[in-house]
Amino acid sequence: MPMLSRVDAAGEPLRLMAVHAHPDDESSKGAATMAKYVAEGVQVLVATCTGGERGDVLNPHMDRPEVWANLPAIRAQEMDAARKILGVEQVWLGYVDSGLPEGDPLPPLPEGCFAVQNVTEAAAGLVAHIRRFRPQVLLTYDEMGGYPHPDHIMCHKISMAAVTMAADPATLPEAGPAWQVSKVYYHMSGHRNRYLRLDQLMHEHGLPPVYEERLTQFPDDHKAYRLTTFVPCSEYFSVRDDALRAHATQIDPDGHWFAVPMEIQKKGWPTEDYQLVLSIVPTVIPEDDLFSGIAVAAMDAAPEFSI
């Protein structure tokens, strides 16, 4: 029987790049997908745009003066721990966290931060990593950043710019040979249908809802029509959760991330979901594999014989 080989039609290993705004984003968005592909022999690289320098300490157990004083270094250590848990490689793009502006009117963004960079110039560093790593598939955020954090929106902008720039041999020739990414996806797992289904199962099991407040913010599922790709990865949800816990300053172990029992998560919504926004290979929607149209079915080698 033909077996799905984790190579492309040219015999190249499959490679997946995920571009994220801050350390911890890789563990809260698409982490189980990445762990699944790593287990299948796919090479996975996370590109982290900023160091999370202006992030908050969101775990009350870590809200201590010495943590705040050393937050950038601690977040780098957390990123390394999460990377090892997921089995991925990781690079820093070296930009400074913009913070999440609050107030009415919103204050200006800090001078020199990621979100105020020139998009083409900021994308140049990512182009070099794309050309070096040569991913067939790239994951990033939608035009609203998944949610409207300025760094997430900028992450979207430089990701899309870098894909175009990396494919053009006349652009940044010093960054290496041109490389065309075959498929680009947006993370889309934070949609109403998923939250609703999980809360329904919580109710059926006599447990309090987790997403009730969030559901009031989504009167309709504005993302549902955008979903194209559902990657079954529930057996790696525990790996995702371990990676999340590695970001101890950002993830409260008693918070909503872990409030839905694992078996309900696996039963209620066993996939991580995406929108395919660019493909130079043929595929059929809906998909269950980010490498649909890229990974090839290859026969196991047959014994040689002669007549």
Percentage with pLDDT > 70 across the chain? 94
Arithmetic mean of pLDDT, 234-263: 97
Q: What's the rounded Cα separation, in Å, for the pair 4 and 182?
A: 18
Superfamily of structural domain 3-190+228-298: LmbE-like (3.40.50.10320)
**Confidence grade of residue 6 (pLDDT, cut at 50, 70, 90):** confident
The pLDDT score that the predictor gives to residue 297 is 54
Q: How confident is the model at residue 9 (pLDDT cuts 50, 70, 90)?
A: confident
For residue 303, pLDDT over 70 is answered with no
Whether a cis peptide bond, with omega within 30° of 0, leads into 105 is yes
Task: Please report the DSSP string for 60-75 in residue order.
Answer: GGG--HHHHHTHHHHH
Q: Which two tokens stand for residue 159?
A: 């990701």
The whole-angstrom separation of Cα 99 and Cα 107 is 11
Phi, psi of 84 (to 5 degrees): -65, -40
Would the pLDDT of 10 be above 50? yes
Can you point out the beta strands (E) in 154-247? 183-187, 229-232
The predicted-structure confidence for 37-82, as pLDDT tens digits, reads as follows: 999 999 999 999 999 999 999 999 999 999 999 999 999 999 999 9
State pTM to two decimals: 0.93
Model confidence at 164: pLDDT above 50: yes
Phi, psi of 122 (to 5 degrees): -70, -30
Q: How much is the pLDDT for 304?
A: 38
Comparing 8-12, 17-21, 67-71, 240-244, the range with the smallest average pLDDT is 8-12
pLDDT reported for residue 300 = 36
- Is the model's pLDDT at 23 over the cut of 70? yes
Contact (CB, 8 A) for 258 and 298: no
Beta carbons within 10 angstroms of residue 283's beta carbon: 18
End-to-end distance of the chain based on CA atoms, in angstroms?
24
Amino acid 223: pLDDT: 80
Q: Which of 102-106, 163-167, 225-229, 231-235 has the lowest mean pLDDT?
A: 102-106
Residue 217 binned pLDDT confidence (cut-offs 50, 70, 90): confident
Give the residue-averaged pLDDT of 103-123.
95
